[in-house]
Chains A and B, each alone.
Chain A
Amino acid sequence: MADLFALLVQSGNSLGAHSAALATAGNNIANANTPGYTRQTVELVANPASGVTGPLAVGRGVSIGVITQARDAFVERQVPQTLAAGGRSQAESDALQAMSALDPALPGGLSSTVSQFYTSLRTLSQNPGDVGLRQNVLSTSANLAQSFNQTAATIEDTRNGIDSKIQGDLNVINSTARNLADLNGRIQQTSAAGGDVNDLLDARRTAADTLARLTGSTPYTNEAGDTLMALPGGLALVTGNSASQLSALPDATNGSHLRLLVTKADGSGPSALPTAFMGGEVGGLLDARDGALKTAANAVDGLAFDLGTSLNTLHAAGYAMDGTTGRALFTLPTTSAGAASQIAVNPIVAADPKLLAAATTLPAASGDNRNILAMIATEAQTLAGGNDPVATLQKITGDFGTSSATATATAAHDSAMVTHLTDLRNSSAGVSIDEEMINLTKAQTAYQAVSKVITTANSMLMTLMSIGTTTG
């Protein structure tokens, strides 16, 4: 038989359950725009009858079972690797897009100054004794050298800029990894103590996503429920309660650009982190810095060295207006490394246009243009690098352009994948205000109904109380 007092108590508990449902809906609404927030649902559980079985058993109201988070495990597993791929291709694409030294129509760019150099030689060939035209050749030679210097400098600046970005990313990676390890510990403690870990779980997932995007690492869950992060190649970034730390030092074998080091969670290191062990945004930056940009820098150095050497050989074999010989037109380093940044016009020749070696035989007649013609011919002659200067410039531009275009196309594709998966995740885990408004109304109505039950039970109790008392 239903006990009215028990009914009151149970209804009070039921009120609590419905206000918890209301509070949950309210929490969801408040966090509708919180990044990384996963909506929470209250599971209401009917309290079974106690102590009485059979057809007269009546349940004892409702209570809260558990407040769960709406996570789609399948989508969740795919998100980190998609973020990693997207971070990598976007970083490479942005870095390559930003480098404009190889733009084909760039005023003062390499192809323009090489062209002007040969133009000045051709004009001189028609009147080699004219000092003004000789001076013009020296000016275009200086412009050519300067253009090589600037192109090399711009590529180097871009690579240095990437190093700064990497350093910034490493700082974020290190603090996020420590944070993730810390969250693992707190989640364990809090759930052992029976507390609510939903917000901590959200924070941990956001940290894991950040690390995936920046480093290409993959999250794993161990038996204890901790989230571990493993870099590509398997090196642990976060193991349970501790995190490895990444650092960088200049690498003398790579033009003093940064190479990565890892200090492992157990304290050993710092030891070298191979490039293959890094993905995500940092991996993409390294791809750009040591891939397309390095190739372009080396090719520009190669062109400066080969063309300069080829012209120097001809110039040194020719005769200046005063009959002297044996001078180089350009000063170059001994190998192609750094040739583009160091190439300059031989200062002795630069100071006196008459020392430009236009003649091929003695006496060096003022109208002897044969060495100039030989120098002009280098425009179509194969250099040590395997192509003539024009084809080399074409190749440098084309190769860089192809790398950039490929990175951009890959980034666009990866970005679409990221959007797709993020949409799926938002769809299952996100808050819909319409839905929460309905939940709110549902909880409110139930609350009102239970209150009505209380009022009714109370009035029934009052009726009971007033039996046996007379008024008047």
Chain B
Amino acid sequence: MRVTNALIYEGAQAQVAAARDRAFQAQQKVTDGVRVVHPGDDPAAASMMVTHQMAIDRLATIDKTVSSASDELQTADGALQSVSTLLARARDLSVQLGNDTYSASERANGAAEIRGISAQIVQVMNTQIGGRYIFGGNVDRTPPFDVSGNYQGDTATRQVEVAPGLLQNSSVRADQIIKGVGGGVDILGNLGAIANALASNDGATARGALDTLQSGVDQVAAGLAQTGTLMDGMANAQSVSAAATDAVKKALSAESEVDIFDASSQLAAAQQGLEATLTVTAKSFQYSLLDFLK
């Protein structure tokens, strides 16, 4: 091939520019650590980065809301445990004072205590967490039970997303557990009836209400079983989402981040290439007939 000046110098321009560009790109990769900036850098990776980043955000948020729902369920669980304990005391009292060996004044004291237990149950059921009343269904800004023990909430069961697209209950029906809506027993009503009977020294009525009281105890136990199951579900959801998050994070890292060792060795190669190009270019300029013709 006939090598002309234009070939030498334009060729040198192009080669040096290309070598500098390669070195620059390699340097950018090492310092930024980012593999894909523009979608054209790697279209498949870029599109997956979009999906994966959104998945990570989604899983992280679900984890937080599940955690918060889990706290609510724990609080509910604790409250129902307290109710259970209180009812046990009420039952013992009622069984005892139902016996006609007790005097009217002893029965009257018992009645007062039972009314006190009823009030405490109302207080426990009006528990809040995070600014919400948790036993009112969707009515979470006003107490679910009034002082007389009437239910003020609604019949909704709250739900939370435990996995993308998957909902789970995050509350239990206090109207069913405490007031017996839907075929159960009205625990508060029942306690009131027992207290009234004892206050009027009516042992027969008091004894007659004991079965209902026991049903109430079972009702609360069933409620506790519900909260237990829901809490397990939340815990499972959290560990699944943690594993899923790890997997997606790994995938995102592979797509978007530079392998630092690979990038460093490419930078070294590019810099060596630049040095070689510059050396050869300089040398090729040295040879001209002009230098030898005297």
Interface residues of A, Cβ cutoff 8 Å to B: 32-33, 39, 96-97, 100, 102-105, 111-112, 114-116, 118-119, 122-123, 125-127, 129-130, 359, 365-370, 373, 376-377, 379-380, 390-391, 393-395, 397-398, 400-405, 407-408, 419, 422-423, 426-434, 437-438, 441
Contacts and interface: CB of A to CB of B under 8 A. Distances in A.
B137 interface: yes
Interface stretch (B99-107, B153-161, B235-243): B153-161
Q: Which secondary structure dominates where chain A touches chain B?
A: helix
A390 B57 CA distance: 12
Contacts of A104: 36, 39, 46-47, 49-50, 53, 256
Nearest to A381: B165
Interface string B132-160: 10001111110000000000001010111
Interface stretch (B5-13, B75-83, B190-198): B5-13
A365 B138 contact: yes
18 contacts: A32-B6, A103-B38, A104-B36, A104-B49, A104-B50, A105-B36, A105-B37, A115-B58, A119-B60, A125-B65, A125-B161, A365-B139, A365-B156, A366-B141, A367-B138, A398-B39, A404-B39, A407-B40
Contacts of B160: 125-126
Contacts of A370: 159
A102 B7 CA distance: 40
Contacts of A422: 10
Contacts of A111: 50, 53-54
Given A103-B38, A437-B290, A431 B58 contact: no
B48 interface: yes
A426 B138 contact: no
B40 A369 contact: no
Contact of B38 (A367, A377, A404): A404
B250 interface: no
B47 A395 contact: yes
A397 B38 CA distance: 9
Interface string B23-47: 0000000000010111111111011
Contacts of A427: 1-4, 7
Nearest to B293: A437
Contacts of B61: 118-119, 122-123
Given A105-B34, A105-B256, A401-B42, A380 B164 contact: yes
Given A376-B161, A405-B40, A397 B154 contact: no
A122 B161 contact: yes
Given A105-B256, A394-B48, A401-B47, A112 B161 contact: no
Contacts, number: 191
B271 interface: no
A96 B158 CA distance: 49
Given A96-B40, A398-B47, A419-B14, A369 B158 contact: yes
A453 to B, nearest CB: 25
A115 B140 contact: no
Contact of B50 (A129, A397, A402, A419): A397
Given A427-B3, A438-B289, 17 more contacts: A116-B57, A125-B161, A130-B131, A367-B141, A368-B138, A368-B156, A376-B161, A391-B51, A394-B48, A397-B50, A401-B42, A401-B43, A401-B44, A426-B4, A430-B6, A431-B5, A433-B288
B288 A119 contact: no
Contact of B5 (A96, A397, A403, A430): A430
Interface of B: 1-7, 9-11, 14, 34, 36-44, 46-51, 53-54, 57-58, 60-62, 64-65, 68-69, 130-132, 136-141, 154, 156, 158-161, 164-165, 167, 256, 288-290, 293
A438 B141 CA distance: 101
Contact of B165 (A122, A380, A395): A380
B9 A122 contact: no
A101 B165 CA distance: 30
B289 to A, nearest CB: 4
Contacts of A408: 40
A98 to B, nearest CB: 9
A105 B48 contact: no
Nearest to A422: B10
A101 to B, nearest CB: 10
A461 to B, nearest CB: 36
Contacts of A401: 38-44, 46-47
B43 A122 contact: no
- State the 3 A-B residue pairs at the shortest beta-carbon distance, nearest first: A401-B39, A404-B40, A430-B4
Contacts of A423: 7, 11
A39 B289 CA distance: 18
Given A97-B38, A433-B290, A32 B69 contact: no
A32 B10 CA distance: 12
A229 to B, nearest CB: 25
A452 B42 CA distance: 74
Contact of B2 (A123, A373, A428): A428
Contacts of A441: 293
A400 to B, nearest CB: 5
Contact of A433 (B68, B69, B289): B289
Given A105-B256, A428-B2, A367 B57 contact: no
A357 B126 CA distance: 26
A33 to B, nearest CB: 7
Nearest to B5: A32
B50 A393 contact: yes
A437 B53 contact: no
A438 to B, nearest CB: 7
B3 A432 contact: yes
B65 A122 contact: yes
Of the candidates A395, A408, A423, the one having the most CB atoms from chain B within 10 angstroms of its own CB is A423
B139 A367 contact: yes
Contacts of A127: 68, 130-132, 140
A367 B68 CA distance: 14
A97 B38 CA distance: 7
B252 to A, nearest CB: 10
Contacts of B2: 427-428, 432
